[in-house]
Amino acid sequence: MTSTTSSSASLPARPPRDSFWTRIAADIADAIARGVYPPGQRLPPEHALAEQYGVNRHTIRRSLADLTSQGLLRVTQGSGTYVEEFAMDLALVKRPRHHQRMALAGLRGALSVVAASTVRATATQARALDVAARSTLLCLNVIGDAEGQPLHFSERFFPLPRFATLEDVVRETGSITAGFAAHGVDDYTRRDSRITAQMPEPTVASHLRQPVTRPVLFVESVNIDTAAVPIEYARTWFAGDRISLTVTHDE
């Protein structure tokens, strides 16, 4: 099991008596935020944490109780203490913007390109983008995260040559919106979304850092420019234990 890099050496040499448990709680909370202890993982037992931090088990128990009251941990009787699974409510809105979604939720979020390629449009992709079959498309594989936790993995397809340098802009800015703007698309909207639940393929599960036995929410969507021309067809897999999706029909 992975453990934090913190130890008793990181704590003050002579802290006030009742500050030990608060410092330890903060250290464990930071480890959770950094993904050292991912959602659903069991923490080391109390005696191991007590030895790691150089304190007694009562102090560790108080630290864990505080984190439990904050909703970061849950205790399963006879099994141990686990990092609580969290679910963020994302809205499927007319104007989809990852950074704005994260900001509204009070989280830091980013998009990162993990792979890019030029492909020939399948029948499904051609129909969604209103282009001829076998047309050339840019395909970006993208991960969207919040506070370092992957929320979704997507395959996004864009018609070429219209969006020839979009990959470079997205890699530099972490923003699809910025990529569109660089190609003269100052505004765009979601035309439609189709949502289903499914079990993830191993590659998808790996990107989302979850087991293949845990369901994901799968969304197919099409974005259009102000002239109603399709500019993006996306297949997105959302981590089912970290996301709830709300469909809204207004701005």
Give the mean pLDDT of 68-89. Answer: 77
* 36/106 Cα distance (integer angstroms): 21
pLDDT of residue 11: 46
Q: Which residue has the higher pLDDT, 15 or 228?
A: 228
- Does position 1 have pLDDT exceeding 50, yes or no? no
pLDDT of residue 7: 40
Give the mean pLDDT of 215-242. Answer: 93
Go through the domains of the chain in sequence order and give each one's CATH number: 8-83 (1.10.10.10), 88-247 (3.40.1410.10)
List phi, psi (to 5°) of 237: -110, 120
pLDDT of residue 103: 54
Give the least confident one: 1-10, 34-43, 141-150, 199-208. Answer: 1-10
Confidence of residue 197 (pLDDT cuts 50, 70, 90): very high
Q: Which residue has the higher pLDDT, 105 or 153?
A: 153
pTM reported for the whole predicted model: 0.67
pLDDT of residue 73: 84
What spatial distance separates the first Cα and last Cα of the chain, rounded to whole Å? 45
Task: Please say whether the beta carbons of 73 and 81 come within 8 A.
Answer: yes
Radius of gyration of the chain (CA): 22
Give the mean pLDDT of 169-195. Answer: 94
